């Protein structure tokens, strides 16, 4: 209980940040009240594009949550001592990422009051059932691990033996949460953009690229605002992970493009054509998809050259580029590409409305609040020692 009190002690800057986040969260909540009252008609969704920003954000942040494995695995399985501090930060980030994912699902529901039906009437043949199990379990695992780690640091006790076992369990579990999320899409016979075996590997690659990138950025913020330093070596190792994952992600994208366009099967080509060239007079996503692609190439070039990768400012630019690029690809392109063209060939334009953005920003703010609170506790406990 006392570690939580650390979130109530802070500088002016800290409280200003909290106040801003609370305001954004409040705005999102008010927009959500409007959505509860009027229905999802206040979003830009339609009969043809029935999933949009909410589900896309859910997918993206499950990826961020899964990326904790990129620090947990080296630390626990390969005794990578440099990751001693950053591992906890990764697990805490996973907690806020899973929380955000779950909130995105809740706001996407047409009848959220009935959400307990998922528990009251479980359906093992539905991938969504397993996604709930996987995400719920992962949240629980990380909460237990985080609480234990913070108590160990705060009360100067030795870590219990089961922490290692649970951390190792979290490794395949992290892989499974993002695989199951990919399976939500890749088993649907009518959605050709998603009906590909490589969707799950693509999800993992983009998660291991964007997640550690975010973690690196957070470490830089921590170093700037507090005295908490995860260490140069940890950041360098993370940067290498981002480099490899980004390269693999681009490779996977190109293999998809090859299959679609060399086979010239219309059903396989159309989604890519809509997203990257435009179709039926609708080109509004084209610049964003190309921006995503160019950003990731740009980021890769920065990350491949050791001299640039080890330069803090260039690394920050690269991480920001990777994060934005994958956000555009997964947090926007992926979902719309599955729905346009529709099963009957219709091109329906999807643009999120202001209310939709408001709710999304509100959930981002809640995620930032959770991250801030958890990191604040960590830094305070560390500074005490």
The residues binding another protein (CB under 8 A) are 1, 38-41, 43, 45-48, 50-51, 105, 108-112, 114-121, 123, 125-129, 132, 184-185, 188-191, 266, 338-339, 342-346, 348
Residue 154 or 178 having the CB closest to another protein: 154
Measured from the CB of residue 237, what is the shortest distance to another protein in angstroms?
36
Quote the least distance from Cβ 224 to another protein, whole Å: 32
Nearer to another protein, 16 or 36 (CB): 36
Q: Residue 327, Cα to own-chain centre: how many angstroms?
A: 8
- Residue 121 CB, shortest distance to another protein, in Å, is 5
Rounded distance between C-alpha atoms, residue 354 and residue 351, angstroms: 10
Angle between helices 199-225 and 232-263 (to 10 degrees): 150
Minimum Å gap between C-beta 369 and another protein is 21
Which residue, among 173, 167, 188, has the nearest Cα to 130 in the 3D structure? 173
**Residue whose CB is less far from another protein, 225 or 347:** 347
- In the bound state with another protein, the residue whose beta carbon lies nearer, of 134 and 205, is 134
Q: Which is nearer to another protein, 149 or 222 (CB)?
A: 149
In angstroms, rounded to a whole number, what is the distance separating the alpha carbons of residues 296 and 320? 10
Cβ distance to another protein smaller for residue 123 or 301: 123
63 vs 338, beta carbon nearer another protein: 338
Q: Which is nearer to another protein, 79 or 264 (CB)?
A: 264
**Least distance to another protein, CB of residue 191, Å:** 7
Taking the complex as a whole, how short is the minimal distance between the CB of residue 253 and another protein, in angstroms? 22
- Shorter beta-carbon distance to another protein: residue 200 or 250: 200
CB of 328 to another protein, least distance (A): 21
| Smallest distance, another protein to C-beta of residue 264, A | 14
Answer yes or no: are the C-beta atoms of 179 and 133 closer than 8 Å.
no
CB of 348 to another protein, least distance (A): 7
Q: What's the closest the beta carbon of residue 205 comes to another protein, in angstroms?
A: 23
Cβ atoms of 326 and 293 closer than 8 Å: no
- Compare residues 216 and 356 and give the one whose CB is closer to another protein: 356
Output the 3-class SS for the chain.
Answer: CCCHHHHHCCCHHHHHHHHHHHHHHHHHHHHHHHHHHHCHHHCCCCCCCCCCHHHHHHHHHHHHHHCCHHHHHHHHHCCCHHHHHHHHHHHHHHHHHHHHHHHHHHHHCCCHHHCCHHHHCCCCCCHHHHHHHHHHHHHHHHHHHHHHHHHHHHHCCCCCCHHHHHHHHHHHHHHHHHHHHHHHHHCCCCCCCCCCCCHHHHHHHHHHHHHHHHHHHHHHHHHHHCCCCCCHHHHHHHHHHHHHHHHHHHHHHHHHHHHHHHHCCHHHHHHHHHHHCCECCECCCHHHHHHHHHHHHHHHHHHHCHHHHCCHHHHHHHHHHHHHHHHHHHHHHHHHHHHCCCCCCCCCCCCCCHHHHHHHHHHHHHHHHHHHHHHHHHHHHHHHC
Of 198, 215, 188, 204, nearest to 62 by C-alpha is 204
């Amino acid at each position: 209980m006392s570690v939580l009190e650390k979130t109530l002690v802070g500088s002016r800057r800290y409280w200003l940040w909290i106040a801003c986040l609370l305001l954004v969260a409040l705005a999102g909540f008010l927009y959500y009240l409007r959505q509860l009252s009027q229905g999802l008609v206040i979003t830009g969704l339609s009969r043809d594009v029935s999933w949009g920003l909410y589900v896309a954000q859910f997918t993206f942040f499950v990826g961020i949550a899964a990326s904790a494995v990129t620090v947990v695995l080296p630390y626990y399985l390969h005794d990578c001592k440099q990751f001693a501090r950053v591992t906890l930060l990764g697990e805490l980030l996973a907690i806020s990422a899973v929380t955000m994912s779950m909130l995105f699902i809740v706001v996407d529901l047409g009848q959220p009051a009935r959400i307990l039906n998922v528990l009251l009437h479980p359906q093992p043949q539905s991938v969504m059932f397993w996604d709930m199990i996987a995400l719920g379990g992962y949240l629980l695992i990380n909460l237990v691990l985080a609480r234990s780690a913070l108590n160990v640091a705060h009360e100067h006790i030795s870590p219990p033996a089961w922490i290692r076992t649970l951390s190792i369990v979290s490794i395949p579990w992290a892989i499974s949460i993002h695989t199951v999320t990919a399976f939500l899409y890749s088993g649907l016979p009518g959605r050709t953009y998603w009906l590909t075996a490589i969707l799950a590997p693509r999800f993992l690659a983009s998660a291991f690229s964007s997640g550690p990138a975010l973690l690196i950025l957070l470490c830089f913020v921590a170093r700037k605002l507090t005295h908490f330093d995860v260490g140069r070596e940890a950041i360098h190792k993370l940067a290498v992970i981002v480099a490899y994952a980004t390269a693999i992600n681009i490779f996977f994208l190109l293999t998809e493009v090859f299959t679609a366009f060399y086979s010239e099967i219309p059903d396989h080509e159309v989604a890519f054509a809509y997203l990257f060239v435009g179709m039926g007079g609708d080109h509004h996503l084209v610049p964003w998809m190309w921006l995503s692609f160019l950003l990731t190439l740009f980021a890769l070039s920065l990350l491949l050259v050791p001299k640039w990768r080890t330069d803090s400012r260039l690394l920050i630019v690269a991480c920001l580029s990777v994060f934005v690029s994958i956000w555009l690809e997964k947090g926007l392109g992926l979902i719309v590409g599955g729905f346009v063209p529709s099963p009957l060939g219709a091109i329906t334009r999807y643009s999120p409305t202001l209310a939709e953005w408001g709710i999304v920003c509100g959930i981002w703010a809640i995620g930032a609040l959770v991250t801030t609170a958890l990191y604040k506790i960590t830094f305070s406990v560390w500074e005490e020692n």
